[in-house]
Structure 1
Amino acid sequence: MRADWDSALTANLKLAPEPQSDLLFCRRLRRLVALLGDGQSAVIPPPAVRSRIARPPLLLASVERRPFLLDYAENDEMRVARPERLGEILAVQGMPADAWLRDSVLPEISAATAADRWQRAVTWMLQGEKGTTLQLLLRVPGGGERGVSVTRSVSLNDRWPLEPAAFAVESLPGRVVIVRLNSLSDADEVRRFDRAFADFGGVQGLVVDLRRAAGGGGRTELGYQILGRLAGKPFVAARWKTPEHRAVFRAWNETDSATTWYAPPADTVRPRGAAPAYGGPIAVLAGTATAGAAEDFLAAFRAAGRGVIVGEPSAGSPGDVAAFPLPKGWTVQFSVSHHAAPDGTEFAGTGIKPDLPVAPTVRDVLAGADPALDRAKAYVSGKRP
Structure 2
Amino acid sequence: MKKVILILLSFMFFGFGNAQQQFDTVAYKSTYKNLFEKTAFGDSLTTENKIAGLSRAWAEAKYNFANFDLVPQVNWDSIYHAYIPRVLATKNKEEYYKVLVEFYKPLNDGHTLIVAPRELWDKMYATLPIKTKLLDGKVVITRLKSTEEVYKLLQPRTVIHKINGQLVKQYTERHIAPSINSSTPHDLNARLYSFFFTRGKLSEPVILELETPEGKLFTHSFPRKKMDQLLPATNDYSYKKLDESTSLLTINTFMQPDVIKLYDSIFKAPHPKNLLIDLRENGGGNGNNGFELIGYLTSEPFPMSKQIMRRYKPVQRAWGGEPDVLEIGEYDWMPHQKTVFKGRVIVLTGPDTYSAAEDFLSSFKAIKRGTVIGQTTGGSTGQPLTFPLPFGGLGVVCAKRDVQPDWTEFVGVGIHPDVEVQPTLAAFIAGRDETLETALTILKQ
Whether TM-score is above 0.5 comes out as yes
Matched to 1:221, the amino acid is N
1:369 counterpart = 2:439:
no
> Do 1:42 and 1:110's aligned partners in 2 also have CA atoms closer than 8 Å?
yes
Matches within 5 A, 1:1-385: 1=71, 2-3=73-74, 5-52=76-123, 53-72=125-144, 73-79=146-152, 82-123=153-194, 124-155=196-227, 158-199=228-269, 201-215=270-284, 218-251=285-318, 257=323, 259-264=324-329, 266-274=330-338, 276-379=339-442, 381=443, 383-384=444-445
Aligned-partner Cα distance in 2 for 1:227–1:34 = 35
Query: Which shows bigger deviation, 320-329 or 68-77?
Result: 68-77
> Do 1:92 and 1:134's aligned partners in 2 also have CA atoms closer than 8 Å?
yes
What runs of 5+ residues in structure 2 fail to find an aligned partner? 1-70
Aligned-partner Cα distance in 2 for 1:341–1:132 = 45
Aligned-partner Cα distance in 1 for 2:320–2:104 = 26
> Do 2:158 and 2:212's aligned partners in 1 also have CA atoms closer than 8 Å?
yes
Deviation of 1:252 (Å): 5.2
CA deviation string 1:5-60 (max 9, x = no partner)? 54443232112222433332232222221221111122222222224430011221
* Alpha carbons of structure 1 residues 3 and 252: separation in structure 2 relative to 1, 3 Å: farther
TM score, norm. by length of structure 1: 0.91
Aligned-partner Cα distance in 2 for 1:61–1:162 = 17
Deviation of 1:253 (Å): 7.6
> Do 1:4 and 1:35's aligned partners in 2 also have CA atoms closer than 8 Å?
no
SS of equivalent to 2:189: helix
* Alpha carbons of structure 1 residues 225 and 84: separation in structure 2 relative to 1, 3 Å: closer
> Do 1:83 and 1:148's aligned partners in 2 also have CA atoms closer than 8 Å?
no
> Hey, what does 2:5 align to over in structure 1?
none
Query: Which shows bigger deviation, 326-335 or 1-10?
Result: 1-10
Query: Which shows bigger deviation, 50-59 or 278-287?
Result: 50-59
> Do 2:158 and 2:210's aligned partners in 1 also have CA atoms closer than 8 Å?
yes
What runs of 5+ residues in structure 1 fail to find an aligned partner? none
The 4+ residue runs of structure 1 with deviation greater than 3 A are 1-8, 249-254
CA deviation string 1:221-273 (max 9, x = no partner)? 2211111011132222211111111121343588x84x322112x22123324
Greater Rg over alpha carbons, structure: 2
Deviation of 1:140 (Å): 2.1
> Do 1:86 and 1:140's aligned partners in 2 also have CA atoms closer than 8 Å?
yes
Alignment: residue pair count = 371
Deviation of 1:208 (Å): 0.7
Deviation of 1:205 (Å): 0.6
SS of equivalent to 1:129: coil
Aligned-partner Cα distance in 2 for 1:159–1:306 = 41
